[in-house]
Amino acid sequence: MPKQLLAQLVQKEEIIKNVYKFSIKADEIVQISKPGNFIEIRVTDQAEPFLRRPISIYNLDKQNGILEFIFQVKGKGTSLLSRKQIGDKIDIVGPLGFGTFKTDKYKKLAIIGGGIGIFPLYQLAKEAKNEEKQVNGYLGFRNKDFVMLEKEFKNVTNNLTITTDDGSYKNKGFAIDYLIKDMEKEKYDCIYACGPIPMLKAIQKYANENNIECQISLEEKMACGLGVCLGCAVKTAKSPKEKPEYFHVCKGGPVFNSKDVEI
Ligand SMILES: Cc1cc2nc3c(=O)[nH]c(=O)nc-3n(C[C@H](O)[C@H](O)[C@H](O)COP(=O)(O)OP(=O)(O)OC[C@H]3O[C@@H](n4cnc5c(N)ncnc54)[C@H](O)[C@@H]3O)c2cc1C
């Protein structure tokens, strides 16, 4: 059951330009959260913006009750959030999302993320590595200025491949091409993905065509986060054209099996 808390901001860091990592004290939520869950944040006490903003859980420190999330400043909501100071209380609801990453059946995992979509993959990789699963990571960024969390992901993976579209840092090209190349030598049991839609589409196509298990986290635009407003609909994969059927990312997801959704 999601909880609403006033969580104290205990650490704040701008990890790259306009991207902030917040550490908040939120023990009640931390203890019941799973990889792939997200929280909804009320960014201001003022009337505007009224809607909470959904942000993925990046890291859970269960011992100290600390929840970490990372966000990019995009518009008014995230800009207001970025101005919070250490000691401030932040109004959050979580954990949200019934569709979370599932790893029980798998031993060899590939995580693949792009840009600001890499955040929900961290806790997943951390828990899987602690359970002695093999976790290989593929993280793609536009160019060297957008590369982040390399050291952190190195610590929670057996092997990490970093790519930049323009080759300005590490490997040139798209992360998925490196994953596919590695798959020729070594088959993963499941691929876990989060990132921009074109990247997710390419991963979904590859996984579905090759019958590889794949779980995709969708960061669809969302309003209530509780399945009430129905704003974050995505079509189900086998939905008939004349009478489409939908999942709602906030409740059904944000993580879906790649075979179940049309993205
Ligand atoms: C389940 C979920 C998890 C998310 N996790 C993260 C996260 O960990 N870190 C992070 O930085 N962001 C994350 N997002 C996206 C984040 O919620 C939006 O960037 C944020 O709500 C924008 O609010 P704003 O008021 O700053 O911008 P707005 O003023 O609402 O919008 C500014 C611009 O951002 C675009 N935008 C708004 N929402 C989204 C979205 N969901 N996807 C793409 N573009 C959007 C708008 O179209 C507009 O162009 C997540 C979204 C979802 C649904």
Residue 220: what residue type? E
- Atom index in ligand 1 nearest the CA of residue 80 equals 26
Give the position of tokens 């979580």. Answer: 94
- Does ligand 1 come within 6 angstroms of the Cβ of 77? yes
Architecture in CATH for domain 108-219? 3-Layer(aba) Sandwich (3.40)
Residue nearest to atom 21 of ligand 1 (CA): 53
- Asked if omega into 254 is within 30° of 0 (cis), the reply is yes
Q: Which residues of the chain have pLDDT under 70?
A: 220
Task: Give the pLDDT score at 171.
Answer: 97
Q: Tell me the best of 219, 226, 249, 261 to mutate to test the pocket of ligand 1, counting ligand atoms within 8 Å of each CB and taking the most.
A: 219
**How far is C-alpha 149 from the chain's CA centre?**
14
Residues 33 and 24: beta-carbon distance below 8 Å: no
Q: Give the full edge-to-edge strand order of the sheet including 59-61.
A: 53-56, 38-42, 89-96, 3-16, 19-25, 66-72, 59-61
- Does ligand 1 come within 6 angstroms of the Cβ of 123? no
- Does ligand 1 come within 6 angstroms of the Cβ of 95? no
- Atom index in ligand 1 nearest the CA of residue 232 equals 53
Q: Provide the token pair at 256.
A: 């879906």
Q: Is it true that domain 3-96 has CATH number 2.40.30.10?
A: yes
CA atoms of 30 and 8, how far apart (whole Å): 13
Maximum alpha-carbon separation in the chain: 55
Task: Give the pLDDT score at 149.
Answer: 98
- Asked if omega into 244 is within 30° of 0 (cis), the reply is no
Task: Give the pLDDT score at 135.
Answer: 98
The residue ranges of every structural domain in the chain are 3-96, 108-219
Global pTM? 0.94
Angle value at C-alpha 71, between 146 and 118, nearest 5 degrees: 60
Give the position of tokens 């006033």. Answer: 6
Task: Give the pLDDT score at 98.
Answer: 83
Residue nearest to atom 28 of ligand 1 (CA): 75
Instruction: Report CA(209)–ligand 1 centroid distance (Å).
Output: 30
Residues 112 and 181: beta-carbon distance below 8 Å: no
Task: Give the pLDDT score at 50.
Answer: 83
Give the CB-side neighbour count of residue 245, counting CA atoms within 13 A: 8
Residue nearest to atom 13 of ligand 1 (CA): 55
Distances (CA, A) of 211 to 84, 134, 175: 45, 20, 20
CA atoms of 137 and 191, how far apart (whole Å): 10
Q: Tell me the best of 55, 98, 148 to mutate to test the pocket of ligand 1, counting ligand atoms within 8 Å of each CB and taking the most.
A: 55
- Atom index in ligand 1 nearest the CA of residue 57 equals 8
Instruction: Report CA(74)–ligand 1 centroid distance (Å).
Output: 7
